[in-house]
Amino acid sequence: MRKTGPVEIVRPTDLAEAVRLVSEGGRPLAGGTDLFVRVRKGMEVPQFLVYVGELPELSSIEIGEEGAEVGAAVTHAEILRSPLAERLPILQLALATIGAPAIRAMGTLGGNLANASPAGDGLIPLYLLSARVRLVGPVGERELPVEEFVTGPGKTALAPGEIIRSIFIPFPEAAPLAYFRKVGRRRALVIAVASLGALIWLEGDVIRKARLALGSVAPTVLRPREVEEALVGRPLHPEALRPLVERLRAATRPISDIRASADYRREVAGNLLLGMAASLCPASV
């Protein structure tokens, strides 16, 4: 055991022991990039921390025919160095924007999920790809779609004693165009005031299918499905998508905080849709 300030850190020898310790009141810890900040500020006062960052059961990436299973303790940097990054460009685009290299070397995809921030960059591709969260706890294992796992800002469907074991990420059909962009108040290490990820399937220059996911504009990552449906059949060009800008803004449910007002977030969300079209437009790629 070791301590960081007054909080004790326990290292389990395997996953079963980790589950037992969490059931006894421990708080799971992997990279700690968010958790340590909250503990230092007194926002969380766990009984003790259970370090799961080096458990083999949580530390692998397994790539199959239908998708990839990413252990909860796999870091962003490890994903970016793996073959999975090339296979899933949207995952690569989003994870590459997280913090500085040191943060990406410590932070984990499982931690991003457990943090459940509406601004979590790693959540955007998981929503777009219909990822499933695999949990393990005192009564066994279960699996939830990511949209059911994240229930609100900082809130998840984790039951007492449960931890995230892995995330299964299905491979999308064919090879959609991928887009990710976030906007913040400063350039370096930005926390998004609004972000947009997209997967776009084209027939010629016309949208055949679209998936959109927005961050920081609702209590959880937002999939504006009415806008996705309205994109189908339109040319991938800013002017063709301009009529949908207000519909997208209306779908958002942002708040005002120290980083941005709700109105600013709505404005940015609409602008990001046009930015996506300009970036992916066949004439410009």
Class of domain 57-170: alpha beta
- Looking at the chain, the domain(s) classified CATH 3.30.465.10 span 57-170
pLDDT at 265: 93
Which CA distances in Å does 169 have to 127, 166, 172?
10, 10, 9
Architecture of the domain delimited by 177-280: 2-Layer Sandwich (3.30)
Return the closest-CA partner of residue 53 out of 24, 84, 11, 22: 11
pLDDT at 188: 44
Average pLDDT for 118-131? 95
- Looking at the chain, the domain(s) classified CATH 3.30.43.10 span 2-51
pLDDT > 70 fraction of the chain, expressed in percent and rounded: 94
Model confidence pLDDT, tens digit, residues 189-223 = 457 789 999 999 999 999 999 999 999 999 999 99
Average pLDDT for 21-29? 92
Model confidence pLDDT, tens digit, residues 80-89 = 999 999 999 9
Which residues have a Cβ under 8 Å from the Cβ of 115 and sit 6 or more positions away? 34, 154
Model confidence pLDDT, tens digit, residues 166-192 = 999 999 999 999 999 999 765 544 577
pLDDT at 3: 43
Average pLDDT for 58-68? 96
- Looking at the chain, the domain(s) classified CATH 3.30.390.50 span 177-280
Q: Specify the CATH number of the domain 2-51.
A: 3.30.43.10
Model confidence pLDDT, tens digit, residues 268-278 = 999 999 999 99
Model confidence pLDDT, tens digit, residues 126-161 = 999 999 999 999 999 999 999 999 999 999 999 999
pLDDT at 148: 97
pLDDT at 284: 55
Dihedral sign computed on CA atoms, order 120, 196, 103, 54: positive
**How far is 234 from 226, CA to CA, in rounded Å?**
14
2 has a pLDDT exceeding 50? no
pLDDT at 238: 96
Highest-confidence range of 30-34, 224-228, 251-255, 259-263, by mean pLDDT? 224-228
Model confidence pLDDT, tens digit, residues 89-113 = 999 999 999 888 888 998 999 999 9
The continuous run of DSSP H or E covering 29 comes out as strand 26-29
* Average model confidence (pLDDT) across the chain: 91
26 has a pLDDT exceeding 50? yes
Q: How many CB atoms lie within 10 A of CB 221?
A: 25
Between 43 and 181, the more confident residue is: 181
Which residues have a Cβ under 8 Å from the Cβ of 61 and sit 6 or more positions away? 68, 69, 70, 71, 74, 78, 79, 82, 84
Q: Are 5 and 41 contacting, i.e. CB atoms less than 8 angstroms apart?
A: no
